């Protein structure tokens, strides 16, 4: 498992769910990982878990909407590991409200974290990558909600769809520097793996909130993806195997977006 040996990866939003799963998957392929989160526990426990598994990681507490903190975070990564090869923009605020109810403050924060946070992390990591002159790979975590109009989730859907074109535009800005930018689209995610990872990190198991709709019945594959499935796709996009891939969206959604909308497959 050495597809990323010698590479350094920043992953933002390293909760035990998707970001923690991606950080773990990158570390399992030999990357040194900088685990970044506004929550000191999510940053530190993710890094500690990777180290306990035999990998190399540091945790950095950072609010991705604060440009000074983002610059300091990228500086920490450079000082610790001598440079950065991979950035995974995963930090985000999920959930939301309809356009009728959404308070401006909450809209601004969700757009700020999901969209502006990705912009700031990309800007400062890419500047370092340009200086390093060894290229790089940037992955933006989107959502099926960015491809479709989801009711009751106005800021989330808007920010995630903005990220799809942010990815294409940033890919064009950075192509001459050998930096590839791609997005990855997850969908509703099976909760079990995140719960197990939280327990591995020493956290108490929390009860899952049930979904109103049975999502697994509605996706063509009949089951929902887990964070490890996203991690494998991020490893590919981060690796030299994806050397000719930039500006694309890679969907790991069990077929959700490809489905003809009225069809209920399961």
- The alpha carbon of residue 207 and the mean position of all alpha carbons in its chain are separated, in whole angstroms, by 24
Q: Is 156 a catalytic residue?
A: yes
Closer Cβ to ligand NAD, 41 or 56, answer by number: 41
Please state, in angstroms and rounded to a whole number, the distance separating the CA atoms of residues 77 and 89: 15
Smallest distance from ligand NAD to CB 69, Å: 8
Smallest distance from ligand NAD to CB 172, Å: 23
Dig out the tokens for 185 from the structure: 């689209």
Closer Cβ to ligand NAD, 44 or 92, answer by number: 92
Cβ(163)–Cβ(114) below 8 Å = yes
Smallest distance from ligand NAD to CB 57, Å: 15
Nearest of 14, 167, 143, 166 to residue 91 by alpha carbon: 14
Closer Cβ to ligand NAD, 132 or 215, answer by number: 215
Closer Cβ to ligand NAD, 128 or 139, answer by number: 139
Closer Cβ to ligand NAD, 48 or 178, answer by number: 48
Cβ contacts of residue 15 below 8 Å, gap of 6+? 37, 39, 42, 46, 194
CB atoms within 10 A of CB 224: 21
Burial of 142 (0-12, 13-18, 19+ CB in 10 A): buried
Task: Please give the residue ranges that form the binding site for ligand NAD (CB under 6 A).
Answer: 12-13, 15, 17-19, 37-39, 42, 62-65, 90-94, 113, 117, 141, 143, 186-189
Smallest distance from ligand NAD to CB 18, Å: 3
Cβ contacts of residue 90 below 8 Å, gap of 6+? 11, 12, 13, 14, 18, 19, 22, 141
Smallest distance from ligand NAD to CB 186, Å: 4
Cβ(21)–Cβ(194) below 8 Å = yes
Please state, in angstroms and rounded to a whole number, the distance separating the CA atoms of residues 80 and 58: 8
Q: Is 222 helix (H, G, I), strand (E, B) or coil?
A: coil
Catalytic site positions: 156
């Amino acid at each position: 498992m050495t597809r990323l040996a010698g590479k350094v990866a920043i992953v933002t939003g390293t909760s035990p769910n998707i970001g923690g799963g991606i950080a773990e998957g990158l570390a399992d392929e030999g990357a040194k990982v900088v685990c970044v989160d506004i929550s000191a526990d999510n940053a530190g426990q993710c890094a500690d878990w990777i180290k306990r598994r035999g990998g190399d990681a540091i945790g950095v507490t950072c609010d991705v909407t604060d440009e000074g903190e983002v610059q300091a975070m990228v500086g920490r990564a450079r000082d610790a590991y001598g440079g950065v090869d991979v950035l995974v923009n995963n930090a985000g605020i999920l959930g939301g409200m309809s356009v009728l109810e959404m308070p401006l403050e909450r809209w601004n924060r969700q757009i700020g974290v999901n969209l502006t946070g990705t912009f700031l992390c990309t800007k400062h990591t890419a500047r370092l990558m340009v200086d390093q002159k060894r290229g790089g790979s940037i992955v933006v975590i989107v959502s099926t909600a960015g491809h479709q109009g989801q009711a009751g989730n106005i800021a989330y859907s808007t920010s995630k769809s903005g990220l799809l074109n942010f990815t294409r535009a940033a890919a064009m800005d950075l192509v001459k520097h050998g930096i590839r930018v791609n997005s990855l689209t997850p969908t509703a995610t099976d909760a079990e793996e995140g719960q197990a990872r939280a327990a591995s990190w020493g956290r108490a198991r929390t009860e899952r909130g049930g979904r109103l709709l049975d999502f697994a019945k509605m996706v063509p594959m009949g089951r929902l993806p887990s964070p490890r499935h996203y991690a494998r796709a991020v490893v590919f996009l981060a690796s030299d195997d994806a050397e000719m891939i930039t500006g694309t969206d890679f969907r790991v959604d069990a077929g959700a977006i490809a489905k003809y909308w009225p069809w209920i497959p399961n």
